[in-house]
Structure 1
């Protein structure tokens, strides 16, 4: 199983029955494919869709119906399509129980940086998008990211080095190696990948963290 699918499968276990949840650009869009059986959740996309399902088949997809990343999605009974103004009215109005966001960095204070990669002096890409609204409007923020970058450096920081999307707003951090909750006193390790030890996780994590008394194996179902 590829790392990004692993993260999406684990993230989907955070969905609760009856919630309204936004799936952000990038890795979070695939969470729609792994909603647990028996869980009825109303998924929202910032480009203007409410109540949708996973990726359609080649025979059934419609290129005009897509998620925030431009990938095809499945409309289900009761789905609604509208403009982005309406979508952001829902988000800014505090109507989202949660949002799942990709991240470039997160840190032990619950800060998240997910919009600004430096491409030149004082120039960043790709741009803020809807992330600023989402972290301010959603009641729960789940950050999804690979544990380290291509150079093997931790993306779970003591302090974010990139411009922040939101300060102190992350509730849960999910990587392919571990799951952390963000508590007032810092990060708490609650799950780690099979075969890993706490010391293994410390060796790849810049941030300080404590370990939950009932720390368990990384769940996929």
Structure 2
């Protein structure tokens, strides 16, 4: 039977050595008050300690002084297992200093491993991750030198087929953020941007005789409608009521509390960008890439568009009218709306449906998308992509590996080089004013996020769209298939590459 508690009381349920699973998505829907209470307790008691924290998509809030950053920095955590570390501003720096163990697994594979544990299974099989960094035959999931646990990901064969087997430690504590709890303890997510892995986390924790702690905005007298109660009260141990953080009016568009027709998506997107102080810059490079990449869209496509340069695809799809003829998706579970970026990444304007994250990755892993548009840090002569780890920095693989593993058409949107690249366009012709000092086409990528070998075996169409040309993946490597007007193929492309590519004028 659940109890209503203060955050400080609820955190006392956590013991040294517990494995905490946080339901959040990058920077959204974090149970901030629970994290703050855990830090207060740790500062006072130096307990709980030796914690493991699991999160499919990470649990930062883009702030080094809030959420979990403090107690992680002070030493309460021994091990982190996350799909993405981007919003965990100080934590990702400490990882590279070998302060504690840290493992990066594909977001969807963590989500499926949580669901497997909820069903009494030790782990989850997946073809996602084969021949990329997480494969133990390659690098394995450990990010730093102290991360040597080889039990999290194993290469196995079943009925003559090869898989990766993802196994998480037993989850004993759930930290969840919901909207409201009724008098039976049922938890709804009405004002939330997503429900993520909430139900599976709670089921796994209860199966492991652990404790489920839920932070909500309010208590309500009226019982929840059965289909709206994401977490049944019988799975909840502690409910903490915390004053909700104030949200700009623009963010109400992301809760699904009112209908937003297609014609208003752009207006609401601009309002959210203004509220988050994120405005699109006059980015000539991004515009050229986005315009060309958007031409790959077809009517009725089911689509995923990554953050960064790929976001320009949606701008040009809207201008052409194609955006109204495709279905966009986002990893957190949203389908049929317009994904937002920045600090609210994971939320959707005008979503038709938002379901559990594991179900979204069922769609992605089995080739349910028609096309995806992803960013890239590096590409090598074979067409392999590094999208998750740069020199001296990393954000994590996130949903990238799941999204690109089986999608029939994969379009990488990337500049030809970086750091100083200046490009102009006039009357349809492109001029390279200044080359960047950091090459993005390299002989060998530093770490593999996308395997060209797997893509060829799967029969996927793979394009690499830049501001000056387009390459296509072939069994022999990259083939230059388009050179934009104003670009000299030899001077601006072929002479700049550290390897040869196929090209026929």
TM-score range, shorter chain: 0.7 to 0.9
Distance 1:106 1:137, change over 3 A: same
The 5-angstrom pairing of residues 4-23 of structure 1 reads 4-23=286-305
Higher radius of gyration, 1 or 2: 2
How many residues are treated as equivalent by the alignment? 195
Instruction: Look up the match of 1:132.
Output: 401
The 5-angstrom pairing of residues 30-41 of structure 1 reads 30-35=312-317, 36-37=320-321, 40-41=325-326
Shift in Å, 1:74: 4.0
Instruction: Look up the match of 1:145.
Output: 414
For 2:409 and 2:386, the matched residues in 1 are separated by 16
For 2:408 and 2:342, the matched residues in 1 are separated by 20
Q: 1:29-59: CA deviations, max 9, x gaps? A: 2311211335722121112221234xxxxxx
32-41 vs 132-141, which moves further: 32-41
Does 1:185 pair with 2:476? yes
Does 1:163 pair with 2:447? yes
* 8 Å contact kept, 2:464–2:470: yes
Instruction: Look up the match of 2:376.
Output: 103
* 8 Å contact kept, 2:297–2:322: no
Q: TM-score, normalised by structure 2?
A: 0.36
How much is the aligned-residue C-alpha RMSD, in angstroms? 2.4
Does 1:88 pair with 2:373? no
Q: 1:105-158: CA deviations, max 9, x gaps? A: 112312111001232xxxx41111111111213122111111012252431223
The structure with the largest strand share of the pair is 1
Q: Which runs of 5+ in 2 are unaligned?
A: 1-282, 420-435, 456-460
Distance 1:68 1:212, change over 3 A: farther
Distance 1:132 1:173, change over 3 A: same
Q: 1:174-201: CA deviations, max 9, x gaps? A: 1111111111122221222321111121
For 1:97 and 1:38, the matched residues in 2 are separated by 14
Local SS of the residue matching 2:417: coil
Instruction: Look up the match of 2:15.
Output: none
169-178 vs 98-107, which moves further: 169-178
Q: TM-score, normalised by structure 1?
A: 0.78
Does 1:70 pair with 2:352? no
